[in-house]
Amino acid sequence: MVSKEEQNLATTFQFEARLTQASLIKKILEAIKDLVTDANFDCSAEGLSLQAMDSSHVSLVSMVLHAQGFEMFRCQRAVSLGINLASLTKILKCAGNDDSITLRADDKGDKAEFVFESQTQDRLSEFELKLMDIDSEHLGIPDTKYSAVVEMPSSEYRRICSDLGVMGDTVRISVSKESVKFQVDGDIGKGSVCLHPSSVVDKPTEVVKISLEEPVDMIFSIRYLNFFAKAAPLSDTVTLSLSKDFPLQVEFKFGEQMGYLRYYLAPKID
């Protein structure tokens, strides 16, 4: 698919990657731009990744797009693209959902190129984005075996969060073998939503699954859970992983082998 001309051009770039669906990148941006303003896109041979904390350092976004998920991926040496997400969103608005998207970065690291190509290949738009030097903190996320892992439809997750969000600002998530319960105790009153593991597995996307090591009962800020819900379009299911005294992990997978978008939320403590 790569034309000769493009190949020649590509040699000048340290990093070049193409995705067939621009919509994926667009959705990812939508999912994180409210939480993070600037972020470094780290490009390495393994793929494209991003880690960023929100300004109050309560939550952490970790996104990984594996190299094999791209139509074309070439990285001669690791580069880090400091991007203002609002600017990137503006550029991505210019891409059609079905357009293919090519991302390039040269050696200097002061700009990134975006090329959008329509499916019919009759429309080609190129954009250049100025990069910034972002001094962000990188945190090492330890591999953890979570006490409780709940899988549920992402639409359900979004609904619960928005419903409970009107009641208060703190949600108590209790996971037991039988159910996962979201409780709110707010100024105007109380509310709770309880989900039971589905017995019938008709539609795999509507299944609620609970795998439990030990029961967990923690409280979190609903505000952040609502931010995470913006990633619902990325995936049909969402996985909540909880451990006592450890941040909640909310994971949206982009399909097999493609990558994931993970949110971590520090718990509140009594």
Partner 1 sequence: MGVKGLWELVAPVGRRVSMDTVANKTLAVDVSIWLTQFLYAMRDSDGELIRNAHLLGVLRRCCKLIFYNVKPIFVFDGATPQLKRRTLSLRRSQRNKQKLRLRRIAEKIVLNELKLKKLKEKKAKEPEEAEESSVTSHIDSSNLYDQYMDRVLKESLKSNKPDSEGNDDQIGEQPDTNESDSNFEQQITDSVGGDADDSETKIKGSEQLEENRDEGEGQVSDSMQSVDSYSSENEEYEVPDISQINPEAFASMPPEMFEEIVSKIRNRERRIHREEFLKVENDPTDFSQKQLDGFLRLSLTKREVMKARAAAGSQLGFGRRRIASDPGKKYSLTRIDDSMAENGDGPELNGSGDPNFLGENNNNKVDEGLEWTKLVSPTEKQEMHSLNPWKTELEPSMTCSGDFSEENAEEDIQWVACPLETDDSLTQQESTWNEQRSTMGIQHQGNSSSCDFTTSLKEDNTEEDDSLTMDFQSAIYSSLLQEKEHSKQENESVQSPQNVADSVSKVDILNSVDTKEDFKMIEERNDQGSDNEHTLDSEKGIRSQVCEENISYSSPTNTTESHLEEQFLNEEELNTGAFNDVILPDEKLEDLFQKFEKERKDLNKEFAHAKSGSDIISDEMLEEIRSLLRILGIPYIQAPMEAEAQCAYFNQVGLVEGVVTEDSDAFLFGARTVFRNIFEDKKYVEQYEMDDIERYLGFDREKLILLSLLLGSDYTQGIHGVGVVNATEIIRAFPTFEELQEFAQWANQLTLDDESYYSCNPEDPNFVKNEFFQKHRKMKRNWVIHDSFPNKHVIDAYHHPMVDTNAIEFRCQRPNIGQLVEFCRAKFGWDSEKVKKLILPVLKAYDANASQTRIEHYFHPMRFAKIKSKRLESALRGISRTVDEEMFFPNTTLPVVKGDDENTFAEAEETKKKNKKRRKRTRRDKVS
- Decide if residue 23 touches partner 1 (CB under 8 A): no
- Decide if residue 60 touches partner 1 (CB under 8 A): yes
Contacts of 253 (CB under 8 A, 6+ apart): 235, 237, 239, 259, 260
Identify whether the C-beta of residue 43 lies closer than 8 Å to the C-beta of residue 65: no
Binding residues with partner 1: total (CB under 8 A): 32
3-state secondary structure 219-262: EEEHHHHHHHHHHHHHCCEEEEEECCCCCEEEEEECCCCCEEEE
Q: What angle do CA 240, 244, 249 make, to 5 degrees?
A: 25
Contact stretch for partner 1 (CB under 8 A) within 131-139, 160-168, 194-202, 232-240: 131-139
Q: Which is nearer to partner 1, 124 or 141 (CB)?
A: 141
- Decide if residue 181 touches partner 1 (CB under 8 A): no
Q: Cβ 82 to partner 1, closest distance in Å? A: 10
- Decide if residue 108 touches partner 1 (CB under 8 A): no
Q: Among candidates 150, 151, 171, which has minimal Cα distance to 160?
A: 171
Q: Which is nearer to partner 1, 58 or 210 (CB)?
A: 58
- Decide if residue 66 touches partner 1 (CB under 8 A): no
Contacts with partner 1 by CB under 8 A lie at: 40, 42, 44, 49, 51, 53, 56-60, 77-80, 137-142, 170, 219, 221, 246-247, 264, 266-270
